[in-house]
């Protein structure tokens, strides 16, 4: 432990209790300026962002929209970049715009020409003051070069003049002596005179030519006019002739048509008179024949009429006798059917009897050809069905079947909708506690008062006792749920009986009315 | 009076269902009971609780099937 402390500086420090510290100040390798660095980075980032964004914006439309909408000064940046993309030379040579602005200034000042100053400056030449007044018109301006004339016409005179002028200009430019100038001026004057002469000659010949051309044109015009007038007159006369011809032809056609029409009418008149004469002749003949016949055959006609009348009476009589007979038969059949329906005695042959009677009735009413009766007979239950169910039940049978149905109806009377096992058990138990009603409970709109199962049962009982089967059937068919389904068989039987009764009543009434 | 030739009269609709429910109940509770007895003998050293449990299962099954028979959910068609 001790040995370790001997060597370890920290242990030594702990021993002495003093911490050794260097007196040399800590020298930082680099002075950190965080704010400046931040500013620099920020500006670099901003510049990069604007430049890059603007460049991309010039390439891509969607980026341009976004950049201009959401970046401050975006659109100006984009437009600037766009400008410099197309004016790269300005970007490389920033002073080119200075010249432009200088040109603008020139325009404003109205200066058309400026002297281009050579780079080494203006060189002044010596001017000979003696010669200046002698020359008079010689140019004093130095360092100015007059442009040469460039004109090439085919004319010799003009060419020589131009040459002389060019020589003069060259001489002036070269600042030659006035004597040489004089010579040149003389030659110039000469050529100018020649030019003037030539011009006069040309103008003279030109006016002469024009006058001769005018005369020729006038002569041609008058000749053409005469020709045209003649042609016109000729054509007019031709047209006139044509019109006259056409008119004549039309007149001829019309006259012909009128003649034909008149002829036809005349023929018609002749035919008509002929027909009238024949008619009259016929009439006279038939009158004669009639009078003859009336005299001789009058008795025979009267006899024939009597015979026809008697025949008709006979037929009617036979018909009514037949109708009466069939009526009697139908009546008999109907009454026997009604007896069968309303009887209370049961027999195993009831169904067959009923079917036999119905078949007879159908045969009897078939020749009546009454639509209502035919329909009613067709609507009767089929023989097969009647035979299968043993005809119809008697009233007492219906009542007894109803009585058998009652405990079942009561046991399901308290069922809730869509009842399960518990519902059925509870309905079975609690229906034993119901009081039976009697008489004819009043029916109401309410679902419970007067419409409960006990009221319905009481009403049906009353109707059955009173032999009002139709009302009983209505009550039962208005029941709902399980009760209605349990009473289904009973309803079918009752309805069949009612149906038969109603249809037979209908046939009876119709037979009474129609016969 | 000749016989009515319908398959089953409408008056006995509910009764037919009751028949099915009760017979089904007897069968299912009997099965449960039997399974309980078997389990009791084989695994539980003839203790009573498996028998009650099996009976309960059988009754519960019978009840649920009876319910659906009355609601006509048609768990299975059993002709009475």
B70 and A389 within 8 Å at the Cβ level: the answer is: no
Task: Say yes or no: B71 contacts chain A, CB-CB below 8 A.
Answer: yes
**Given A346, A348, A420, which is nearest B71 (Cβ)?**
A420
- Residue B45 distance to chain A (closest CA, Å): 37
SS3 A383: helix
Phi and psi angles of residue A445, each rounded to the nearest 5 degrees, phi first = -70, -25
Task: Say yes or no: A419 contacts chain B, CB-CB below 8 A.
Answer: yes
Is residue B2 included in any domain, yes or no? Answer: no
User: Which pLDDT score is estimated for B80?
Assistant: 54
User: Which pLDDT score is estimated for A116?
Assistant: 54
B11 and A405 within 8 Å at the Cβ level: the answer is: yes
- Residue B44 distance to chain A (closest CA, Å): 34
Is residue B9 included in any domain, yes or no? Answer: no
Pick from A389, A342, A354, A384: nearest CA to A493: A389
Is residue B47 included in any domain, yes or no? Answer: yes
Task: Say yes or no: B73 contacts chain A, CB-CB below 8 A.
Answer: no
Interface mutation vs chain B, best among A397, A420, A431, most B CBs within 10 Å: A420
> Nearest 5°: CA angle at A233, between A232 and A238?
95
How far CA B27 is from CA of A296, A493, B33, in Å, comes to 113, 38, 10
Question: Would the ipTM clear 0.85, i.e. be above it?
Answer: no
Which residue in this structure is represented by tokens 């405990």? A407
Is residue B8 included in any domain, yes or no? Answer: no
- Residue A464 distance to chain B (closest CA, Å): 19
Q: For residue B3, with 0-12 CB atoms within 10 Å meaning exposed, 13-18 middle and 19 or more buried, which class applies? A: exposed
A488 and B70 within 8 Å at the Cβ level: the answer is: no
Task: Say yes or no: B57 contacts chain A, CB-CB below 8 A.
Answer: no
The tally of domains found in chain B comes to 1
Cα–Cα distance measured from residue A362 to residue A374, given in angstroms and rounded to the nearest whole number: 9
**C-beta atoms surrounding A12 within 10 Å:** 13
What is the model's pTM?
A: 0.45
Domain boundaries, chain A: 47-95, 156-318, 344-512
Residues 6+ away with beta carbon under 8 Å from A114: A106
B70 and A420 within 8 Å at the Cβ level: the answer is: yes
Smallest CA–CA distance from A421 into chain B, residue: B67
Report A:116-145 residues touching B (Cβ under 8 A): none
How far CA A419 is from CA of A361, A422, A424, A430, B69, in Å, comes to 50, 8, 7, 14, 10
Q: What is the pLDDT along chain A (515 residues), one digit of tens a residue?
A: 444 444 455 545 545 555 555 566 565 566 778 899 999 999 999 999 998 988 898 888 888 888 888 888 888 888 888 888 888 777 777 665 656 666 666 666 665 555 555 555 555 555 444 443 333 344 444 445 667 777 766 677 778 888 888 888 887 777 655 666 677 778 888 888 888 888 889 989 999 999 999 999 999 999 999 999 999 999 999 999 999 999 999 999 999 999 999 999 999 999 999 999 999 999 999 999 888 877 777 778 888 999 999 999 999 999 889 888 888 888 898 898 888 888 877 777 778 888 888 888 888 887 777 888 888 888 887 777 777 777 788 888 889 999 999 988 989 888 888 888 999 999 999 999 988 888 888 887 777 777 888 888 999 999 988 888 899 999 899 888 888 888 888 998 899 889 888 998 988 898 888 76
CA A20 to centroid of chain Cα atoms: 98
Q: Establish how many alpha carbons lie within 13 A of residue A345's alpha carbon, considering only the half-sphere containing its beta carbon.
A: 4
Contacts of A345 in chain B (CB under 8 A): none
Structural domain boundaries, residue B29: 20-73
8 Å CB contact between A427 and A411: yes
A412 and B5 within 8 Å at the Cβ level: the answer is: no
Q: For residue A500, with 0-12 CB atoms within 10 Å meaning exposed, 13-18 middle and 19 or more buried, which class applies? A: buried
Run of H or E including B60: helix B49-71
User: Which pLDDT score is estimated for A143?
Assistant: 47
Task: Say yes or no: A409 contacts chain B, CB-CB below 8 A.
Answer: no
Q: Is A298 left (phi over 0), alpha (psi -120 to 50) or beta?
A: alpha
B13 and A418 within 8 Å at the Cβ level: the answer is: no
Is residue B6 included in any domain, yes or no? Answer: no
Task: Say yes or no: A417 contacts chain B, CB-CB below 8 A.
Answer: no
Is residue B52 included in any domain, yes or no? Answer: yes
Is residue B27 included in any domain, yes or no? Answer: yes
Run of H or E including B31: helix B13-43
Phi and psi angles of residue A343, each rounded to the nearest 5 degrees, phi first = -70, 155
Is residue B61 included in any domain, yes or no? Answer: yes
Task: Say yes or no: B4 contacts chain A, CB-CB below 8 A.
Answer: yes
């Amino acid at each position: 432990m001790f040995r370790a402390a001997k060597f370890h500086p920290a242990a030594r420090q702990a021993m002495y209790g003093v911490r050794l510290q260097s007196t040399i100040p800590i020298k930082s390798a680099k002075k950190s300026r965080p704010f400046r660095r931040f500013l620099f980075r920020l500006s670099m980032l901003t510049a990069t962002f604007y430049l890059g964004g603007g460049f991309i914006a010039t390439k891509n439309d969607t980026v341009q929209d976004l950049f201009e909408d959401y970046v401050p000064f975006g659109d100006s940046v984009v437009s600037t970049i766009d400008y410099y993309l197309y004016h790269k030379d300005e970007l490389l040579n920033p002073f080119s715009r200075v010249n432009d602005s200088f040109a603008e200034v020139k325009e404003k000042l109205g200066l058309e020409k400026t002297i281009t100053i050579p780079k080494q400056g203006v060189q002044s030449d010596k001017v000979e003051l003696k010669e200046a007044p002698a020359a008079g018109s010689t140019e004093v301006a130095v360092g100015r070069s007059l442009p040469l004339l460039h004109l090439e016409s085919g004319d010799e005179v003009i060419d020589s003049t131009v040459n002389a002028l060019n020589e003069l200009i060259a001489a002036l430019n070269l600042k030659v002596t006035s004597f040489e100038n004089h010579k040149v001026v003389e030659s110039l004057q000469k050529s100018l005179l020649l030019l003037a002469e030539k011009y006069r000659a040309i103008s003279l010949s030109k006016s002469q030519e024009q006058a001769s051309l005018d005369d020729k044109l006038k002569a041609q015009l008058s000749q053409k006019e005469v020709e045209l007038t003649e042609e016109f007159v000729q054509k007019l006369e031709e047209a006139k002739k044509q019109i006259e011809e056409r008119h004549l032809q039309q007149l001829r056609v019309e006259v012909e048509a009128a003649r034909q029409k008149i002829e036809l009418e005349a023929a018609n008149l002749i035919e008509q008179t002929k027909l009238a004469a024949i008619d009259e002749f016929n009439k006279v003949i038939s009158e004669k024949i009639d009078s003859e016949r009336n005299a001789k055959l009058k008795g025979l006609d009267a006899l024939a009429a009597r015979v026809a009348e008697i025949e008709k009476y006979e037929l009617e009589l036979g018909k009514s006798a037949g109708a009466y007979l069939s009526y009697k038969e139908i009546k008999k059949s109907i009454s026997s059917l009604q007896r069968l329906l309303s009887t209370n005695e049961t027999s195993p042959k009831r169904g067959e009897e009923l079917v036999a009677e119905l078949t007879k009735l159908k045969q009897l009413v078939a020749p009546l050809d009454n639509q209502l009766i035919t329909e009613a007979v067709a609507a009767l239950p089929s023989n097969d069905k009647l035979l299968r169910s043993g005809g119809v039940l008697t009233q007492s049978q219906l009542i007894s079947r109803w009585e058998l149905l009652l405990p079942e109806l009561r046991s399901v009377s308290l069922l809730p909708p869509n009842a399960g096992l518990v519902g059925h058990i509870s309905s079975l138990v609690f229906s034993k506690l119901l009081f039976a009603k009697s008489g004819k409970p009043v029916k109401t709109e309410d679902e419970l008062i007067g419409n409960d199962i006990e009221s319905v049962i009481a009403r049906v009982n009353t109707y059955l006792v009173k032999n009002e089967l139709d009302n009983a059937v209505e009550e039962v068919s208005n029941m709902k749920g399980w009760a209605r389904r349990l009473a289904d068989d009973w309803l079918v039987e009752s309805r069949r009986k009612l149906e038969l009764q109603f249809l037979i009543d209908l046939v009876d009434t119709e037979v009474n009315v129609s016969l | 009076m000749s016989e009515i030739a319908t398959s089953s009269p409408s008056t006995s609709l509910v009764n037919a269902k009751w028949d099915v429910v009760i017979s089904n109940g007897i069968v299912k509770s009997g099965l449960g009971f039997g399974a309980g007895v078997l389990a009791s003998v084989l695994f539980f050293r003839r203790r009573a609780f498996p028998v009650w449990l099996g009976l309960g299962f059988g009754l519960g099954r019978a009840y649920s099937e009876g319910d659906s028979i009355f609601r006509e959910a048609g768990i299975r068609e059993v002709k009475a």
